[in-house]
Every structure is written in structure tokens, then in C-alpha cells.
Amino acid sequence: MLNAANLFKEYKVGLNKLNVLKGINLTVQKGEILGIVGPSGAGKSTLLHILGGLDEPTAGKITLEGKDISMLRDKERARLRNSHFGFVFQFYHLLPEFSAIENVVLPAIIRNSEPKIKIRDRALDLLNRCGLSERLQHRPSELSGGEQQRVAVARALINMPKILFCDEPTGNLDTATGSQIKNLLWRLNKDFNMTLVVVTHDNELVNDATRVVRLKDGVILN
């Protein structure tokens, strides 16, 4: 479904170069839960950002269902992200002045490809699946951390993406709440055949993923 071939990523730090990814080859299969684990600084988030079109590789190629997306222009990449990818981060990035349902519908409103009533109905269904049917009109400041993350998950799914990228999705939560978020993501994978790519330093989060790859110093070890 998604294939990364010989990915390199380097950053300039003063007069020096920092090599973060060093020849990554990786394939993401449709419907799988792929865990990417490794210590802090291994390059996990950088890899996820490149796979999801949030950043560009220094070298290498990425294809989505056979189409090369590596060289897309910024606007084309933004459209691709909006229509094919969803993102869940450690920090929820909800708009504080908007209610839960307003946060969820926003990406679909921006996409502007279907009637607003249809978007709202889908948002209601997603928030219900996330256990938030009683919290639709609450703003982020009125929600717990776990509730905010569930709103973020619903928002990520509103455009029915092909791949959901999760960067430390439980990293800002306590153990019990983190377990709830994991169970939600795994259930969505089952209900929608949603492909998940989960980056984490917590091996337990992905111990029952379809597949786990280990990253260290910018290289896949297995």
C-alpha cells in the first residue's frame, strides 16, 4: 500500500550535517497495524512525518498504491494528506475555541467535497464510537486528556483516511487512559480495516500489532 525505498534524511546543524534516517526501506500493508519502536532520537517521528507527507526526504522515494508521492508540490501534498492520511499525535492540537464536534468536522469542511449534514452525521457516529456522545458541545478545556485524545482520533478519521499515523498516541496519558486509547485504535482497525502506523518508545503499546519494526540510529534493525 505504502512503500518507502532507500530513505535518507539529514539536517544542517551549523556547519555540520545530522543524519537522522540512513537508507530506510519499509512497506506498509493494507489493513495492518505496523508498530515502529525505538529509543528517543532513533528517527521514529522523522520517519512517520516523511511517510505521511509532513516532511520531505533528503533522498529516496515513497509510493502510495504505486504512485510516487515523493516529489509532490506543497499544495498537492496537502491535498494528499487531507484525503488519504489521518494523524494522531502525543499532543492533541485541538482548537480551544471550538467544541468537540466542531473540531472533528473541520478537516472535512476544509475539504469541501460533500454536504455539511453528511459530514456532521459522520462526526456524530465517530464521536459515539469514541465514547463521546455526551461531550459533543464541550470545548477542549472542559475535557480530560483521554477525552481530548479521543476527539483527536475522531477528527483524524473524519475524511476516512487510508492510513492513520499515530505518533506516541498514549505518551501524554496515564497508563489506564493510554490503554483505552490503544483499545479504541485497535477496534477502529478492525471495524474499518483501517491501516495503522504507530510510532512509540513503549514496546507494550504495540506488543500485539500485526508487525513491529525496530529503529535505532536511523536504521531498521529487523
pLDDT at 26: 95
pLDDT at 28: 95
pLDDT at 80: 84
Per-residue pLDDT of the chain (222 residues; tens, 9 = 90+): 899 999 999 998 888 888 999 999 999 999 999 999 998 888 999 999 999 988 889 999 999 988 888 778 888 888 888 888 999 988 888 999 999 999 999 999 988 778 999 999 999 999 998 899 999 999 999 999 999 999 999 999 999 899 999 999 988 888 898 898 899 899 989 988 899 999 998 888 899 999 999 999 999 997
Three cell numbers written together for 108: 472535512
pLDDT at 213: 95
179: containing domain: 2-220
Q: Which residues lie closer than 8 Å to 77 by C-beta, 6 or more apart?
A: 53, 69
Is the Cβ–Cβ distance between 52 and 7 less than 8 Å? Answer: no
- Alpha carbon distances (Å) from 212 to 27, 29, 198, 206: 12, 12, 9, 7
For residue 52, the surrounding DSSP H or E stretch is none
Domains of the chain: total: 1
pLDDT at 14: 81
pLDDT at 203: 86
pLDDT at 21: 95
Three cell numbers written together for 53: 507527507
Q: What is the CATH number of the domain that holds 125?
A: 3.40.50.300
pLDDT at 79: 84
Which has the closest alpha carbon to 119: 107, 130, 108?
A: 108
